[in-house]
Structure 1
Amino acid sequence: MPDAVLIGIDVGTTSVKAVMLTATGHRLADFAATYPTRRPGPVTVEQSPDDWLRLVLAALTGFADRPEAAQVAAISLTSQVNTHVFTDTSLAPLHPAIVWQDGRAAAEAARLDGKVTAAQKTDWLGAPIPIDASHALARMAWMKRHHPAIWAATAHVLLPRDFLVARLTGRIVSDPISAVGLVTPALQYAKPLIALLPGALKRLPPLCDPLTVAGTVLPGQPFAGVPVVTGVMDAWASLFGIGVASQGQAMYLSGTSEVLGLISPDISGEPGVITFPAWRGITLHAAPTQAGGASLDWVARLLGRDAASLDPAPITAQSPLFLPHLQGERAPLWDASARGTFAGLTTATGPAELVAAVMEGVAFSARLAMEALERSAGMIPGQIQTGGGGAASDRWCQIRADVFGRPFLRVEGRDPGALGAAVMAGVGAGILPDLAQAAAAMIRSDRVFEPDPTAKILADRRFAVWQQLYAQMRPINAALA
């Protein structure tokens, strides 16, 4: 169906992005709009599921007015994961969505994690995946403990994508890839693990393959009757949106957080890494950090500037260092008590030096994550493919190439999640061939950033000091946290 049109939608941490494009990759229209995030406490981060739904329907309504609307053959969605919606039987949210950055369930997570050995995790999940404050079981345990009435009324605990697919099609379903830390290598729920919290299993949605058609859009909504492919979590969708789908390829997704990924069939059991079960020949080793673009947004607010307008100073041996652990850290440290830290400030330090320190610090956290991935996967990729909003900055991409010491290939567009969802819509509906071929055909490269040899030597030295800074600040930040 060369004239078929596909729609991909990504419900990210800060915005909804959507694309409407042909099966050959020609972009017809796009949509982007932000929604609010509430932070009522130091570690509390919430969003309204109604905001997601409002913007998804706005995107579809706008696309429905296009002349190509009649050719739309399939829709698919992706979203942030480890963000949880507690709903009743009618899919009405009972509580604001608890966002993946939220740390309120840290105590419950520690209690649950303490009940499971690394060997049990490896046996049940295929890898020693930690139970942290963003884990679904920890969130449900927190709700049961602090809001027992809401827990009793909860019929479903859903990811944002699950909630939206259910509201669009009437079908409650999820996929095993997005059920992070809950499924076995056979892509089924890990019942011995889930049994740690009585009542959890019955509130989780049924699982199906990500390329399964979940249902069709209900009457009365834009594109009624069009198939909706189940889809997958944002990191996986972004893989395909960045053109990564084959063995040995590596991804650097730069958004609110930095998500690193590496495809390899080998699994070493490296601590701190999320190794997903193999799916359609793809074994993804992933390392999501906590605050990438969020760190740049933070320093921009301090300086009263827009993040896109920030101009970093050149990085020298005397430049300040920055730990981007403003809300703790995820992979590979999984340290909820980590905190952001500047070191090496002087009276000569100005806004440009702070911006450079933040950009470099985020790149160092990503390098730490990639090194863990390389140990997990037993390989070192020669090139990194990158995309996302944080990849828009040429200077930041160059800093990353210098820090990693290898080329960074940037893809066109700043919405790889939505692009990847469109790829999955096409494959799931039988319009496009397999994912690797579809991604290679539909995703276009923009520019390659080669590492500067002198800058790489400096980055290696500073990275070693940066790691010492984290180790030495850890007990101090833990006491402050």
Structure 2
Amino acid sequence: MEGDLVIGIDVGTTAVKAGLLDSTGVLVDYFSAPYATSRPDSALVEQNPEDWVSLVSASLERFAAKDLPIAAIGLCSQVNTHVFVGADGAPLFPAIVWQDGRAGAEAAELDARVSDKQRIAWWGAPMPIDASNALARMLWMARHRPDVWEKTRYVMLPKDYCIFRLTGELTADPLSNIGLVGQSLDYVPDALELVPGAAERLVPLRDMKSLVGRVRHGSAAGIPVANGTMDAWTGLLGSGGHADRTTVYLSGTSEILGITSRTVKATPGVVVFPEYQNIRLHAGPTQSGGASQLWYCGLQGLQPDEMAALAARSDFDRPAPIFLPHLHGERAPVWNADARALFLGIEERTSGADMARAVYEGVAFSARLLLQSLEASAGIENDAINCGGGGFQTEIWNQIRANVLGRQCRRLAVKDPGVLGAAGLAGWAIEMHPDLSAIFRQITRFDRTYEPDPEMHALYDRLFSIYVDAIAANAELCRAWLNADAGRA
């Protein structure tokens, strides 16, 4: 299909991003538009699923208007974001975003009912059930909104809901359904039995490269749509992680790190995906990566480039305050929905530049903590890390990451690895290339490498141990603070 183009779409946490690419990975056209996120309470984070559909459709109309040969469409999306859909296909409730912690009590209850032996048998690793798990969300809905739960026909991820609206087809993929699917790439019946009614509300699974239908309406009508998979896995592919024993670091609203390794050493806090196409991914998402930058910018009335310029004025010869970036709790490897952010070490001479730098460093420390767990799980330590995503467009932050991690960071040439990965999967689905590795060898390129500075790495080594101790010390204080706030309410 030489000469044909493919579309990659990423339904992210803050925006729909889409690219029209040729078979070599060259970006012909690009679309990006944000949507609103509602935070009615400190634990609640919601979106309107219609916003996703509207912007996905807008991207397709833009590309179709070019009157170029478009061969296929691939999608990926944020996961652990859930839409409760009625029998008529309409959402019954706002989409519950992955950052949402309302199901924390239900998660703890379910998690206590599962042994480590069961976790390893089901998922291949001692993965916890946290507040973002679909089972915890289902149990919360059944208890707190039984009217919605009784009407719910399907619980869907954003990608699957958008595909349903585009094509009319109900489909999901195994790798996106974290905590529901086991090592055999099928739903785990014993896990689903934890929540009565869960199994009956799930969407059929199909391979990520399957062509599941065609666009039914608009200028893009008739174009085939590939099933695709979650943003982390798609971004892994787009960043060169198709090769075994590769480390990948994706930075968006959260930081997602992964290592491909067929070795599995049971390690708490890590998600180990089922093996697919000889790829065994050990991964973990933090909670507030780019979200920390956006929070600080909003607090100070800055644009991201202004924050970067401010941080560059900090005196790097002395430590900045230590920042715990737990604005909405923390996921991997801590998995504590009640964790809260902290600045440690503020003094009279601390400047705004120091605080901006501290935010960058705190996010990098969270990535280092996760990387340690992933390396233990995968049995691999790589000197070079493939990096991509919007969070890697800030030069000073990229160098801080290299210094904190003590690793060479290679930046992906295309800003959005999810878009590149989704487009690659679409190309694979229509056999533009003979296999998965071939297509990503063809389209994945890097534009810059950041080398760690030995002196700064030594400083960050000392600060990192304090960062780790601060997480444990802060946890007890956060519980007391949350209890005090609940008592007032």
Q: What is the TM-score when the length of structure 1 is the normalising length?
A: 0.98
> Contact 2:25–2:420 (CA<8 Å) still a contact in 1?
no
Please state how far the C-alpha of 1:452 moved relative to its aligned partner.
0.7
Q: What amino acid maps onto 2:238 in structure 1?
A: G
Q: What amino acid maps onto 1:349 in structure 2?
A: T
Q: 1:136 maps to which residue?
A: 134
Q: What amino acid maps onto 2:141 in structure 1?
A: M
Q: What amino acid maps onto 1:338 in structure 2?
A: A
Please state how far the C-alpha of 1:329 moved relative to its aligned partner.
0.5
Cα distance in 2 for residues equivalent to 1:179 and 1:317: 44
Alignment of 1:316-355 (within 5 A): 316-355=317-356
Please state how far the C-alpha of 1:222 moved relative to its aligned partner.
3.1
Q: 1:442 maps to which residue?
A: 443
> Contact 2:247–2:257 (CA<8 Å) still a contact in 1?
yes
- Matching residue within 268, 272, 280 for 2:269: 272
Cα distance in 2 for residues equivalent to 1:444 and 1:124: 36
1:310-368 CA distances to partner (integer Å, 9 max, x unpaired)? 12124344321100011110000101111100011112212211110010000000000
Q: What amino acid maps onto 1:88 in structure 2?
A: G
1:156-195 CA distances to partner (integer Å, 9 max, x unpaired)? 0000000000111111010000000111111010000101
Q: What amino acid maps onto 2:330 in structure 1?
A: E
> Contact 1:73–1:227 (CA<8 Å) still a contact in 2?
yes
Q: What amino acid maps onto 1:48 in structure 2?
A: N
- Matching residue within 307, 313, 317 for 2:304: 307
Q: What amino acid maps onto 1:351 in structure 2?
A: G
C-alpha RMSD of matched pairs (Å): 1.0
Please state how far the C-alpha of 1:463 moved relative to its aligned partner.
0.7
Please state how far the C-alpha of 1:478 moved relative to its aligned partner.
2.0
Q: 2:85 maps to which residue?
A: 87
Q: 1:427 maps to which residue?
A: 428
Alignment of 1:174-253 (within 5 A): 174-218=172-216, 220-253=217-250
Cα distance in 1 for residues equivalent to 2:303 and 2:65: 33
Q: What amino acid maps onto 1:282 in structure 2?
A: I
- Verify: 1:122 aligned to 2:123, yes or no: no
Please state how far the C-alpha of 1:465 moved relative to its aligned partner.
1.4
- Matching residue within 154, 170, 178 for 2:168: 170
Q: 2:359 maps to which residue?
A: 358
1:418-468 CA distances to partner (integer Å, 9 max, x unpaired)? 111000000011112322221121122110000011111111111111112
Q: What amino acid maps onto 1:252 in structure 2?
A: Y
Cα distance in 1 for residues equivalent to 2:30 and 2:319: 43
Please state how far the C-alpha of 1:302 moved relative to its aligned partner.
1.2
Cα distance in 1 for residues equivalent to 2:472 and 2:143: 34
> Contact 2:18–2:31 (CA<8 Å) still a contact in 1?
yes
Q: 2:485 maps to which residue?
A: none
Q: What amino acid maps onto 1:274 in structure 2?
A: V
Q: What amino acid maps onto 1:430 in structure 2?
A: E
Cα distance in 2 for residues equivalent to 1:370 and 1:272: 11
Cα distance in 1 for residues equivalent to 2:138 and 2:393: 37
Q: 2:472 maps to which residue?
A: 471
> Contact 1:315–1:356 (CA<8 Å) still a contact in 2?
no
Q: 2:281 maps to which residue?
A: 284
> Contact 2:25–2:444 (CA<8 Å) still a contact in 1?
yes
Moved more, 411-420 or 43-52: 411-420
Cα distance in 2 for residues equivalent to 1:222 and 1:118: 51
What SS does structure 2 have at the residue aligned with 1:67? coil
Cα distance in 2 for residues equivalent to 1:222 and 1:77: 18
Q: 2:486 maps to which residue?
A: none
Q: 1:67 maps to which residue?
A: 67
Cα distance in 2 for residues equivalent to 1:336 and 1:317: 32
Please state how far the C-alpha of 1:120 moved relative to its aligned partner.
0.9
Please state how far the C-alpha of 1:406 moved relative to its aligned partner.
1.2
Moved more, 294-303 or 273-282: 294-303
> Contact 2:410–2:448 (CA<8 Å) still a contact in 1?
yes
Q: 1:22 maps to which residue?
A: 22
Q: Which runs of 5+ in 1 are unaligned?
A: none
Cα distance in 1 for residues equivalent to 2:462 and 2:100: 34
> Contact 1:18–1:32 (CA<8 Å) still a contact in 2?
yes
1:174-228 CA distances to partner (integer Å, 9 max, x unpaired)? 000000011111101000010111110010101111111111111x233211110
